[in-house]
Structure 1
Amino acid sequence: LSRQFRSSAFAQQLLDILRILRVPSWSQTTAPHPLPCIQKVAGSFTNAVFFVSSPSTSSRTLLLRVYGPSSDTLIPRLRELQVLHVLSSRSKIGPRIYGTFTNGRLEEYFDSVTLTATDIREPQISGYIGARMAELHGVDVKTIEGQSHGSNVEIGVRKNVHSWLPHARDVLALPGVTPAIRKELDLDKFQMKWGSYMRWLKTAHVDAHPVLCHNDAQYGNILRLNSVEEGKPGHHQIIVVDFEYASPNPAAFDIANHFHEWTANYHGPTPHLLDPTLYPTRAEQRTFLAAYLENRITPVDAPFDSPAPVFSELSPTARERELIALENAVRVWSPSSHAMWAMWGLVQAREDVLGHVVNPDFDYVGYARCRMAAFYRELATLGV
């Protein structure tokens, strides 16, 4: 696909799909439409993503997403489309979907720039991301899961680890994986420690009620709009995209996962390795958390349907209490992010292992090793 998208045959096939799907401004038949310009977007690990534009007409720019070879193992596509529809139609969050086909879809394009690893560290931008995350967490989970689930919504990270683990085992069993890697990643040991951690979480006395989480708020999935509608708050210049892994989780999981993304540089020489020294300082965490709490729907320690007092209007003592409660919840849920992405890395590694790829663009097995080591390290810190 990395080569095919440059061909006129690919462009013609895409134009035919645009017409069949009747994508606005692309489906006119009164005159021949020029072939679209297709530009590959860097930084997407699960799929191939492209910008689609017209060289000589007023047709709107689109985003084309072609699903990756292992993505169906990781992502329930019908559910993902349901999430995107609810968010874009009811909550005005996320892109509009113009149409789907067997192995991909066409989405709304935002006139924006993608944030960088440096951008998310800027205090103002970090606060904006925190505010937007709080707004997402305020979306009623029942609109996604259905009214019948009520409070019995399954936690996404638990579900993902459970469903991805067998596929991760299959990858490690392939002949292309060395015995040393198999021993290091020892999934029997992981499964035992994961179970112990899940049981320990039930005694941790932190907020665990599920909210709708993005679960992959890395800098490549966060955009800054080039212009914002008049009257909109400043943080609405930030948009989070790529809701493939969105699911109900404790809010602290989503925040912890984002903090881990501070330690990543997907455009550096070792994009598969996290640098723990880049983890946000306590002051940097609090910039994010204060903005999050200022825009949340419910207070940290109250029932979900309780109205939230404005964080900035609380007494200093009450603000500190809320910050400490959220900090503690983030710390407690933090290892689960490493566990989930370790399993993801192994599942994603399948094609490279089968193809005996020596120097992959992204070392998925190396990424899994990095996240697994961090999982055990954080469990030890928690005393689990």
Structure 2
Amino acid sequence: MASSRSPSLNMLERRLSTSSISSLTEMITNVASSSSILLSEEPAEVVKEEELRHVPMKLDARRYKAPAFAEELLQLFRSLQAPSWTNPDITADKVQIRKVSGSLTNAVFFVSCPTVAHIRIMLLRIYGASSGALISRPKELQTLHILSSRYHFGPRVYGTFENGRLEEYFDSTTLTADEMKDPTVSGWIAARMAELHSVDIELLEGTSPKNRGEGKGWEIGVKRNVQKWVGPARNVLALPNMPEDVRTELDIERFCVEWQRYMHWLSAVEDLNGGSRRVFAHNDAQYGNLLRLAKPKEGLPGHRQIIVVDFEYASPNPAAFDIANHFHEWTANYHSSTPHILDPSKYPTPEERRNFYASYLQHSTFAGHPLITPPGAANEIAKVENQVRAWSPASHGMWAVWGIVQAEEDLRNNVTEPEFDYLGYAICRMGSFRKELQDLGIGHSLE
């Protein structure tokens, strides 16, 4: 949900990716970021990656219109040896800086020099002071670097500075909700998801031969996130200005009991029917985090036109969780008057799901080999459908807790008309979580 849930540039838009609705379409083209809240004055965590260039300087996102900011930026680009930006013809007065988003997670800018030929546009990301509350910045950077440099997924990172990083810019447009549902584009998204799910978890998690695998070197992200976020969610719900009816409806203690019952149920189902394959998952495949190249290279496979961005919530997870989470994004409209409300009637139909599964399975590999052959496709499609149904409530539950945590800033600042209604979003996802538990036969009264 958030990329950030992962709100993402596009909305959240609801999670960590959002912008103001009036200008969102333009602002969010080509990038996906996070929820809109002013940056705090508190220092952000310094994040480095061993294989990347790093410059010990900080940028103040609030000063981006000042001439001095352009001077500092040009110095930074040259120190990081950003492609094409060492050209001596570039001067600070020629640098154009366009703000794409300002948020709790990031402030994102497109930086260009249109009056000098052959200068690449750069994407500048300045971290918000509170960006580490829900995600690990060091882990995100490591993941992004490995995925882009070894697997050609996502934007290349050119280097880091004390409170941000410099990334590759794609000449692309962000998918719309309708485009995401087009059968051809949906198949492309499935293919890209399958390719991501085929990368080596152990490489991305940095495990050794002695601590490989689930429960040893890593835990699946949805369980870890809920466990990590429940405490902060309790604190938010305990704030004195939290509406009592909201506190009662969300009922975090009831959720904890329901979540544990659901986890036990999942464990039993997976033991009986075979578990969903553990993969490295994006976990926030909403349309705001999916770009389509404006000018794809000749001969490029169709699905490679889709560029996946915002890996803030990426982690090991069941493949079925990532697919289920994506399907729930079909029900979201982050450009509506109620962007925090999901519409279950928009959930993909059986035919639309089969289209997605067929492409996903066709492009899936495991240990370097195709996951299935055509004769086994029907059985595999049915198997994946059952696994997606089983893991579907987990998406609702995780983002419900996320929404509660995200509401803290607005509550503490007594914001009466927030840009995005995080509590309303949490209520929507919590209600869907509990309904799906009932549908699966896991009621609140279950002992």
TM-score, scaled relative to structure 1: 0.91
- Amino acid paired to 2:95: P
Distance in structure 2 (CA, Å) of the matches to 1:13 and 1:182: 46
Match of 1:54 among 113, 119, 141: 113
Q: Runs of 5+ in structure 1 lacking a partner?
A: 299-304
Tell me the secondary structure at the aligned position of residue 38 of structure 1. Answer: strand
- Indicate the residue corresponding to 1:370 in structure 2: 428
Given residue 146 of structure 1, which amino acid in structure 2 is its aligned partner?
A: G
Aligned-residue CA RMSD (Å): 2.1
Residue by residue over 1:42-70, the C-alpha shift from the partner in whole angstroms, topping out at 9 and shown as x without a partner, is: 69884332222123123211112223443
Distance 1:31 1:245, change over 3 A: closer
Map 1:12-51 onto structure 2 (within 5 A).
12-29=71-88, 32-41=91-100, 46-51=105-110
| Letter in structure 1 aligned against 2:195 | E
**Contact 1:212–1:246 (Cα < 8 Å) also in 2:** yes
Alignment partners' CA distance in 1, 2:69 and 2:76: 11
Q: Which letter maps to 1:177?
A: M
Map Cα deviations across residues 190-222 of structure 1 (whole Å, 9 max, x no partner).
111111111111111342342100000000000
What residue in structure 2 maps to residue 221 of structure 1? 289
- Which has the higher mean CA deviation after the structures are superposed, 139-148 or 321-330? 139-148
Once the two structures are TM-superposed, the CA of residue 339 in structure 1 deviates from its matched residue by: 1.1
- The residue number in structure 1 matching 2:345 is 277
One-letter code of the match for 2:137? R
What do the CA deviations read for 1:310-340 (whole angstroms, capped 9, x no partner)? 54xx22xx32111110001001001111111
**Corresponding residue of 2:6:** none
Equivalent residue for 2:303, pick from 223, 226, 235:
235
Structure 1 counterpart SS, 2:133? helix
Deviation for aligned residue 1:34: 3.2
SS of residue matched to 2:365? coil
Which residue does 2:258 correspond to in 1?
Answer: 193
Pair 1:5–1:367, CA change in 2 (3 A): farther
1:115 is aligned with what amino acid? Answer: L
Quote how far apart the aligned CAs of 1:116 are.
Answer: 0.6
* Shift in alpha-carbon separation, 1:274–1:44, aligned structure 2, 3 A: farther
* AA at the equivalent of 2:406: Q
Shift of 1:14: 2.9
Note closer, same or farther for the CA distance 1:337–1:31 as it changes in structure 2 (3 Å cut): closer
Paired residue for 2:179?
A: 119
Match of 1:150 in 2: 212
1:6 and 1:365, CA in 2 relative to 1: closer, same or farther beyond 3 A?
farther
Partners of 2:63 and 2:333 lie apart in 1 by 28
1:319 equivalent in alignment to 2:319: no
Moved more, 341-350 or 44-53: 44-53
- 1:33, CA displacement in angstroms? 4.0
Q: 1:126 to 1:43 in 2, by over 3 A?
A: farther
Question: Closer, same or farther in 2 for the Cα pair 1:350/1:36, shift >3 Å?
Answer: farther
Q: Which residue type is aligned with residue 101 of structure 1?
A: F
Shift of 1:17: 2.7
Checking the alignment, whether the CA contact within 8 Å between 1:43 and 1:266 is kept in structure 2 is no
**CA distance 1:177–1:88, shift in 2 (3 Å):** same
The question of whether the paired residues in 1 share the 8 Å contact of 2:362 and 2:370 is answered with no
Q: What is the TM-score normalised by the length of structure 2?
A: 0.79
Secondary structure of 1:72's counterpart equals coil
Partner of 1:301: none
Distance (whole Å) between structure 2 residues aligned to residue 83 and residue 165 of structure 1: 25
Letter in 2 for 1:340: M
Q: Is the 8 A contact 1:34 1:55 kept in 2?
A: no
AA in 1 matched with 2:415: V
Is 1:353 paired with 2:411? Answer: yes
Cα distance in 2, alignment partners of residues 165 and 369 from structure 1: 15
- The letter of the residue matching 1:216 is D
Counterpart in 2 of 1:331?
389
| Aligned-partner Cα distance in 1 for 2:186–2:308 | 13
Q: Give the unaligned 5+ runs of structure 2.
A: 1-37, 39-60, 443-447
Contact 1:62–1:106, Cα closer than 8 Å, also in 2: yes
The Cα shift of 1:24 comes to 2.2
Aligned to 1:87: 147
Pair 1:59–1:79, CA change in 2 (3 A):
same
Instruction: Classify 1:270/1:4 alpha carbon distance in 2 versus 1 (closer, same or farther; 3 Å).
Output: farther
User: Which SS does the other structure have where 1:73 is aligned?
Assistant: coil
Cα deviations by residue, 1:278-337 (Å, 9 ceiling, x for unpaired): 111111111111100000013xxxxxx4833554xx22xx32111110001001001111
Partner of 2:440: 382
Measured in 1, the distance between the counterparts of 2:203 and 2:84 equals 31
One-letter identity of the residue aligned with 1:40: K
2:24 maps to what in 1? none
> Which structure shows the higher helix fraction?
1
Cα distance in 2 between the residues matched to 1:15 and 1:365: 41
Equivalent position of 2:355 in the other structure? 287
Provide the residue aligned with 2:23 in structure 1: none
